[in-house]
């Protein structure tokens, strides 16, 4: 998807205050559409994220024979066709900016006897697909891709797939999910072994639709996740919670803009997504979770953040899978904290929508923050007050970089400009308006 560049500026503002909701969880929204398409019957979804990434998944599934319609704000219906029934798409599947859409759909396609051609935007075409091509080939699927398994690629799914046992070489919920989804149209049991637990939305939702999925501890640590092939999946309603990765931006803004008191309601607090909240608490943040409940098989709460002094912390590598998308905004919090924050084990950040390790370091440095990358670790020396700001940040087709640096601009001494905010629409449509409703000062750069 082409984005017209639209430079935007965030200025220091007075206290942020209010209670808001953020759009639906991106990971869960993709899965609701995909699993709804593989279940037989009519799945009603409430709270679906209507961001570009999820809309790309909906369009691809329509091209594969499912029927997906929008009934109103976040209200969508999926008429599922069942496991094994995907039809060959007539045209390229363009998944825009979305790694989750590309990798999970490749999993589904790998065990359907059809051929599909898959591509994405400039960011997605740079990202590694070899990590799913490798295990999916073991089912018997054939791929023709650019160097390094990059998109565009062609996949011909296996007509007689073979179940596999696969040990994840990288902690990735996308790779785990791709293998599990391929296992659905495969006889017997397909197993993924993960050394470090990653988000388990696929497993939870498969069970919700009636598939047999077991999760057991693996000898020597980690988890062994097994799905039985050819499940009877039937349509089931889905309620999508607010995305904790989106809530992170107004919450951190509430912590660093003096005098603020911000509540985000109805946020998913799946323990495999709450690493950021742990880090912020260790940094001394005033964060409270209230009104705990369960919605659609996922734990949910309202989260309140009040401004105060933050202190640097040492963030262990083991926590990375539970907060992998939150490092840009954690680095912003660290830049406003007292003392040094060390974020360890961030190799996976190099293969996100942009090379986030380098993008965070460059952006903070431009804003006058002392920052270092040592191997796969990021070290931020807190300003113990307000960072200088005054920079123009390159978004690099990365929504989370844009949002993180807009939040930094709300506390910095000088305004922070962002070259292109259009990618924010992939995950958080309405972000700027929502922040301004809380009292932020984000507007078009002159």
State the residues that interact with ligand S3P by CB under 6 A.
27, 100, 172-174, 177, 199, 324-325, 348
Minimal CA–CA distance to 376: which of 391, 361, 395, 364? 361
CA-angle at 171, arms to 169 and 177, nearest 5° = 95
Report the C-alpha gap between 356 and 127 in whole angstroms. Answer: 12
Side-chain-facing half-sphere of 236: CA atoms under 13 Å: 19
Report the C-alpha gap between 121 and 136 in whole angstroms. Answer: 23
Give the Å distances, CA to CA, from 236 to 79, 82, 84, 228, 366.
11, 13, 19, 19, 49
Closer residue to ligand S3P, CB minimum distance, 174 or 270:
174
Minimal CA–CA distance to 124: which of 351, 349, 327, 321? 351
**Residue 35: CB minimum distance to ligand S3P, A:** 13
Closer residue to ligand S3P, CB minimum distance, 177 or 274:
177
**Residue 55: CB minimum distance to ligand S3P, A:** 16
**Residue 204: CB minimum distance to ligand S3P, A:** 12
Closer residue to ligand S3P, CB minimum distance, 16 or 179:
179
What does 23-41 look like in DSSP terms, one character per residue?
PBPHHHHHHHHHHHHHSEE
Which token pair is 331? 């680095």
Closer residue to ligand S3P, CB minimum distance, 325 or 420:
325
Closer residue to ligand S3P, CB minimum distance, 37 or 324:
324
Closer residue to ligand S3P, CB minimum distance, 27 or 156:
27
**Residue 246: CB minimum distance to ligand S3P, A:** 11
Contact present, 284 and 278 (Cβ < 8 Å): no
Which residues form the catalytic set? 325
Report the C-alpha gap between 287 and 254 in whole angstroms. Answer: 10
Buried b (16+ CB within 10 A) or exposed e, 344-372: bbbebbebbbbbbbebbbbbbebbbbebe
Paired sense of beta strands 150-156 and 189-194, if any: unpaired
- Residue 259's φ and ψ, nearest 5 degrees, are 85, 0
Report the C-alpha gap between 17 and 305 in whole angstroms. Answer: 10
**Residue 284: CB minimum distance to ligand S3P, A:** 27
**Residue 136: CB minimum distance to ligand S3P, A:** 15
Report the C-alpha gap between 428 and 411 in whole angstroms. Answer: 21
Closer residue to ligand S3P, CB minimum distance, 127 or 304:
127
Closer residue to ligand S3P, CB minimum distance, 9 or 170:
170
Report the C-alpha gap between 205 and 157 in whole angstroms. Answer: 24
Report the C-alpha gap between 372 and 304 in whole angstroms. Answer: 31
**Residue 315: CB minimum distance to ligand S3P, A:** 16
**Residue 59: CB minimum distance to ligand S3P, A:** 18
Q: Is the peptide bond prior to 152 cis by the omega test (within 30 degrees of 0)?
A: yes
């Amino acid at each position: 998807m082409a984005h017209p560049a639209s430079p935007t500026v965030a200025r220091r503002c007075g206290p942020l205050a209010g209670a808001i909701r953020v759009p639906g969880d991106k990971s869960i929204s993709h899965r609701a559409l995909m699993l709804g398409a593989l279940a037989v019957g009519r799945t009603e979804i409430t709270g679906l994220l209507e961001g570009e990434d999820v809309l790309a998944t909906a369009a691809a599934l329509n091209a594969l024979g499912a029927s997906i319609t929008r009934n109103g704000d976040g209200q969508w219906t999926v008429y599922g066709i069942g496991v094994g029934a995907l039809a060959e798409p007539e045209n390229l599947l363009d998944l825009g900016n979305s790694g989750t859409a590309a990798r999970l759909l490749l999993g589904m396609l790998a065990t359907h006897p059809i051929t599909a051609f898959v591509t994405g935007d400039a960011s997605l075409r740079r990202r590694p697909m070899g990590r799913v091509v490798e295990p999916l080939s073991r089912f018997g699927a054939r791929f023709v891709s650019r160097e390094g398994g990059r998109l565009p690629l062609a996949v011909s799914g296996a007509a007689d797939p073979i179940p596999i046992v696969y040990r994840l070489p990288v902690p990735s919920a996308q790779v785990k999910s791709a293998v599990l989804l391929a296992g659905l149209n495969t006889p017997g049991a397909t197993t993924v072994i993960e050394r470090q637990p990653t988000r388990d939305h696929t497993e939870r939702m498969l069970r919700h639709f009636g598939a047999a999925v077991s999760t057991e501890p693996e000898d020597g640590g980690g988890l062994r996740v097994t799905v039985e092939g050819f499940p009877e999946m039937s349509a089931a309603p889905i309620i999508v919670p607010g995305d904790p990765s989106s809530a992170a931006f107004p919450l951190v803004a509430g912590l660093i803009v003096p005098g603020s008191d911000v509540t985000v309601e109805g946020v998913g607090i799946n323990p495999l997504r709450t690493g950021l909240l742990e880090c912020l608490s260790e940094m001394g943040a005033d964060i409270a979770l209230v009104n705990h409940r369960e919605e659609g098989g996922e734990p949910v709460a309202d989260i309140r953040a009040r401004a105060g002094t933050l202190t640097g912390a040492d963030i262990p590598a083991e926590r990375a899978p539970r907060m992998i998308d939150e490092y840009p905004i954690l680095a912003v919090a660290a830049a406003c904290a007292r003392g040094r924050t060390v974020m360890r084990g961030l190799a996976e950040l190099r293969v996100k929508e942009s090379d986030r390790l380098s993008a965070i370091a460059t952006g903070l440095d431009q804003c006058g923050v002392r920052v270092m990358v040592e191997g796969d670790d990021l070290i931020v020396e807190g300003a113990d007050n307000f960072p200088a700001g005054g920079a123009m940040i390159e978004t690099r087709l990365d929504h989370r970089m844009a949002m993180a640096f807009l939040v930094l601009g709300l506390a910095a001494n000088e305004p922070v400009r962002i070259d292109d905010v259009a990618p924010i629409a992939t995950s958080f449509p309405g972000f700027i308006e929502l922040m301004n409703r809380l009292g932020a000062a984000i507007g078009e750069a002159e």
